Amino acid sequence: MFREIIKFPLLFFAVSMIWQLIFDKEIMWIDNLGISFIMFLFILIYNWSKVPYKWKKDNGDK
C-alpha cells in the first residue's frame, strides 16, 4: 500500500525538478518537497477514508 501512495508524489517531485532545471536553471527545493509531501498526505488520507468503518460490528448490542 505504501508503494502505491508514494508513486505519484515522487513522480511529481522528479518531473518538477527536471522541468525547473531545464527551463528555469534553478530548482525550488522547498516548494517541490512541500507540494510532494502535501500530495502524499492527501493520498494517504484519501486511501484511509476508503476503508469501511466497522465500529458497530465490533461494539455489539449492549
Average pLDDT over residues 1-5: 78
Is residue 34 a part of any domain in this protein? yes
Q: Write down the pLDDT at residue 60.
A: 60
Q: Which domain holds residue 19?
A: 2-50
Is residue 19 a part of any domain in this protein? yes
pLDDT band at residue 61, thresholds of 50, 70 and 90? low
Is residue 59 a part of any domain in this protein? no
| Higher per-residue pLDDT: 60 or 20 | 20
Is residue 56 a part of any domain in this protein? no
Q: Write down the pLDDT at residue 50.
A: 83
Q: Please tell me the total count of domains within the chain.
A: 1
Say how far residue 5 (Cα) sits from the centre of its chain: 6
DSSP secondary structure string, the chain?
A: -HHHHHHHHHHHHHHHHHHHHHHTSS--HHHHHHHHHHHHHHHHHHHHHTSPP-HHHHH---
Is residue 6 a part of any domain in this protein? yes
Is residue 36 a part of any domain in this protein? yes
Closest to 38 (Cα-Cα) out of 14, 18, 8: 8
Tell me the pLDDT tens digit for each residue of 10-58. 999 999 999 999 988 888 899 999 999 999 999 999 988 887 777 666 6
